[in-house]
């Protein structure tokens, strides 16, 4: 069984809180596991990805062994939502 993506949110950031509201309104709360980026569990997860310092991130997506931060976390998360605005996909650049 595929593991659910984990979205680490800076719950003090208005942008992150607005995105969580967007996910909720889009019916996507069952597509992610949500954690505060400041929680102990988040710290353990991030250090397992060799990313212990998250002080300048407002959002981190851990999905299928990959780490996406900030805007890429937003775009990758939006892709998973049914009815997400397809224009978001134009901004995703594949990195090698």
Residue range 27-38, pLDDT digits in tens:
788 889 999 998
6-9 sheet: strands from edge to edge? 33-36, 6-9, 59-63, 66-69
Mean pLDDT of the chain: 81
Predicted TM-score (pTM) of this structure: 0.79
Residue range 51-69, pLDDT digits in tens:
876 667 889 999 998 999 8
7 pairs with which residues across the strands? 34, 61
Please say if the pLDDT value at position 75 is more than 90.
no
Residue 68 is predicted with a pLDDT of 93
Residue 1 is predicted with a pLDDT of 55
């Amino acid at each position: 069984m595929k593991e659910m993506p984990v979205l680490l949110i800076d719950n003090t950031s208005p942008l992150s809180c607005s995105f969580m509201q967007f996910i909720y309104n889009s019916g996507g709360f069952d597509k992610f596991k949500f954690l505060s980026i400041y929680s102990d569990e988040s710290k353990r997860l991030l250090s397992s990805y060799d990313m212990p310092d998250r002080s300048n991130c407002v959002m981190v997506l851990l999905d299928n062994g990959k780490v996406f931060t900030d805007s890429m976390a937003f775009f990758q998360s939006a892709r998973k939502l049914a009815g997400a605005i397809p224009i978001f996909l134009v901004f995703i650049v594949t990195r090698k």
